Amino acid sequence: MVRFHPDARFLTDYAAGSLPVSQALCVATHLHYCPGCRLRVGELTELGAELFMQQQPAAAVDGPSFEKLLTRIATRPAMGTPQAGATSDSKVSSLPRTLHKLAGANLEKVKWNKVGSKFRYARLNVGDRARETSLLDIKAGGSVPHHRHQGDEITVLLKGSFSDQEGKYVVGDFIVRTKGETHRPVASQDQDCLCLAALDAPIVMSNWLVRLGLRLLNRQKAA
């Protein structure tokens, strides 16, 4: 059962369409797993439509085209609602549809960057240059190296579970880490862990050897 959810600000901004693309993707992905938040977003969308209607001149509100617009808003499913359909790869088809096009037809064909033997990440191009959006893959029993955040990070758990000093997280959880926080996510021993993450500033690895390895990796990619 999902235990960690976006706060009211995230849900309100998502319903209003004012979140940055990477953060909106994280909220939409969480909505795939959480019917309670889907319902809340639907309510916020309806409320926004009502407020908009109250601010319009009477002549504009009474038009049949506007009534059709309200009907579409009221009857459409909330973004992130699970939908039927599968891709050629069960690993991808089990993910929210919000990620199907970004991840491609086969997760093993995604361009992964390895950091040690049990952790790898793949950057996703979502059109948000101000933030970094990635898939994080932690093998069973593995961990993300201990690191410090220089900005905010949103993580949505897609498969498996992981824990850090703050607790344990399961599929669908929406986890926010803020500037200055440090942690070391560790996957459960019995299952690989897959996450979606959005960063608005780079993280700083605590171990200098890991920092050196990442610098070398970045140089190789740039060459």
Contacts of 38 (CB under 8 A, 6+ apart): 31, 77, 78, 80, 81
Range from 26-30, 158-162, 169-173, 212-216 carrying the lowest mean pLDDT: 212-216
pTM attached to this predicted model: 0.75
For 151-195, the pLDDT digits (tens) are 999 999 999 999 998 899 999 999 999 998 998 899 999 999 999
For 100-155, the pLDDT digits (tens) are 888 776 787 788 988 888 999 999 989 888 899 999 999 999 998 888 888 999 99
Is the distance from CB of 156 to CB of 172 less than 8 angstroms?
yes
Domain ranges of the chain: 8-75, 90-222
Task: Give the residue-averaged pLDDT of 56-71.
Answer: 50
Fold adopted by 90-222:
Jelly Rolls (2.60.120)
In this predicted structure, the answer to whether residue 87 has a pLDDT above a threshold of 50 is no
